[in-house]
Amino acid sequence: MKKIILSALVALPVLAFAQKHHEIGLTAGVSSFYGDLQPNVIPDNNKMMQPSVGLLYKYFVSPRVGFRFGANYIRLTAADSLSLNKTYERRNLSFSNNVGEVYGAIEVNFLAVDVDRLKISPYIFAGVGAFYSNPFAYDSKGEKHNLRDLSTEGQGLAQYPDRKAYPLINAAFPIGGGVKFFIGKTIMLGAEVGLRYTSTDYIDDVSRSYINLDTLNKYKGSKAVEMSYRGNTAAGWDGNYPNYRFQRGDFKGNDWYWTAGITAAVYFDAFGNAKRYLQSRCPKVFGRGR
């Protein structure tokens, strides 16, 4: 431990005098989900890939090491009807989720990228964040229903004390990487992929087993029964509802989601140098008078 502390103290002067900079910009791309309603990292159908947009701020204490903070809107969706797996088709569930996330992470450039020297570098990042998740689906009449409120797997019902209502705010652990490069001396472009492992298995409202449909109907109503099992609306339905405790999802692992896209950011020197930055990099509109 003493060696670690000593090494950190020795590194402080180096970081203090390293070339610092800021990047402030936007991100845009596509997003998808990996979980019970989409068991493949790459979806079977492009309809299960949705848009994502966000804001991004980075502060680099050196050309290689920095901190990044992001806020993103991410749309997720999946449907058994779009799956190539016939078992999932018979279940016929679907969901959508408008996720809002914030996170902080450490970013490491493989190369010491710098505005006046090296213009390109691959990079990786890892961190922690939080996101809002409230899955919903549409019934046969096209009406929207928040699935959490329906307790489709008995969450929050006294008859199922081991199944608590899942939270709306959950933790996420983003990891990813990409490549960045300068356009001139002011714009930093990047292409990246980011994965998020989460603390919940209910992004899609599916995790465990079916519950007794009579109990669900009594305490949550017929709409909860309808949305908990949609196989009766699928072609080839055999007329039987799933038995109590028949597996509905896979509770052995939590859900993931991911984004892939581009980032565009403005590069600034450390705060306090804005005037010098503008004088040296912004084009002169008017010439000097004589």
Top pLDDT among 53 and 14 is at: 53
Q: How far apart are the first and last CA of the chain?
A: 66
How high is the pLDDT of residue 122?
Answer: 97
Among 53-57, 112-116, 268-272, 275-279, which range has the highest average pLDDT?
53-57
H-helix segments, the chain: 2-17, 86-91, 147-150, 213-220, 222-228, 274-281
CB contact at 8 A, 152 and 207 = no
In 3D, which of 180, 198, 171 has the Cα closest to residue 58? 180
Question: Domain 19-281, what fold?
Answer: Porin (2.40.160)
Top pLDDT among 287 and 29 is at: 29
pLDDT tens-digit profile of 1-10?
A: 444 334 444 4
What would the mean pLDDT of 211-230 be, rounded to a whole number? 93
The reported pTM is: 0.84
Q: Which two tokens stand for residue 235?
A: 């072609």
Q: pLDDT tier at 285 (50, 70, 90 boundaries)?
A: very low
List, in order, residues 6 or more apart from 31 with CB less than 8 Å away: 49, 50, 51, 52, 74, 75, 76, 257, 258, 259, 260
pLDDT tens-digit profile of 62-106?
A: 989 999 999 999 999 999 888 877 777 778 899 999 999 999 999
Q: pLDDT tier at 282 (50, 70, 90 boundaries)?
A: low
Distance CA 30, CA 46 (A): 10
In 3D, which of 267, 276, 271, 206 has the Cα closest to residue 242? 206
- Average pLDDT of the residues of the chain: 85
List, in order, residues 6 or more apart from 38 with CB less than 8 Å away: 32, 48, 78, 83, 204
CB contact at 8 A, 148 and 170 = no
pLDDT of 14 above 50: no
Among 16-20, 114-118, 256-260, which range has the highest average pLDDT?
256-260
Distance CA 88, CA 14 (A): 56
